Amino acid sequence: MSLRALLLDVDGTLADTESHGHRPAYNQAFRSLGLRFRWNSRLYRKLLALPGGRERLTYYLRHYQPELGAQADAARHDEAAWVDRVHQLKSRYFRAFVRKGKVPLRPGVARLIAEAKSAGVKVALVSNASHDSLNAVLNHAMPGLAEQVDLIVSGADVAAKKPSPDPYLHAMNQLDLKPWQCVALEDSAMGLQAATSAGICTIITRNENTLDDDFSKARLVLDGLGEPEAPVSVIRGTLEGGWLTLADVEAMLAPPVRSRAA
């Protein structure tokens, strides 16, 4: 098998963490701090263009200038510290939501990972999220599958988060693999840019937050991974069956690009 590693994004790809976990956790954090504003789905989709939670909070403060009430003085005195405090609170709520089973895996994820491991293909999670958030998903949304993950790359492991290729370059370096030996699974234009900039063939499984993203550089665009009893819709590209299999993933691989000198 020419495929050596399956590199999976987490938020929105493995699970609908944004809709069922992160956004509700932000709003719970705002509520607990006595803040009156909430992030609705439309606003949150815009904020997802930013690479991480602290970046989204900072952008929201500066560009939307929400009423902060009793929190205003603290935010003005040290914006970074206040943002960090809110983000830490949000992260605690997110982990609680995951522990309570409110953030299940998307259909087909467990099946595809199991197929990869049975075939000797390595599985890596490549995400902008923190290690704490990733561990929560692994331990609670993926019971029984956590031990099948060979590598975790978080936003804290690299100098620049997605859309920079750094997370994927780091993953390949750790696995000692080349781009033509890997396929990435992503759900957003940001993730697609990161993977393709690293030279990796990418399959998109879009969700409600990424319906309008530009996926023209993806090899295949689906609305999920699918299961035999729950087939997927193909948005772009070709899929023989009604669900994505490991054989389908390997078929996406392009041959290695060789220099003329070789």
Q: Which among 246, 11, 252 is positioned nearest to 117, based on CA atoms?
A: 246
Positions marked catalytic: 9, 11
What is the reported pLDDT for 253?
87
Q: Rounded to 10 degrees, what is the CA torsion of 16, 18, 20, 25?
A: 150
- State pTM to two decimals: 0.89
Q: Which pLDDT score, from 0 to 100, does residue 259 have?
A: 40
**Which pLDDT belongs to residue 262?**
36
Output the pLDDT for position 138: 86
Segments of the chain with pLDDT less than 70: 1, 254-262
Q: How far is CA 12 from the centre of its chain?
A: 5
In three-state form (DSSP H/G/I as H, E/B as E, the rest C), the secondary structure along the chain is CCCCEEEECCECCCECHHHHHHHHHHHHHHHHCCCCCCCCHHHHHHHCCCCCHHHHHHHHHHHHCCCCHHHHHHHHHCHHHHHHHHHHHHHHHHHHHHHCCCCCECCCHHHHHHHHHHCCCEEEEECCCCHHHHHHHHHHHCCCCHHHCCEEECHHHCCCCCCCCHHHHHHHHHHCCCHHHEEEEECCHHHHHHHHHCCCEEEEECCCCCCCCCCCCCCEEECCCCECCECCCEEECCCCCCCCCHHHHHHCCCCCCCCCCC
Query: What's the pLDDT score for residue 255?
Result: 55
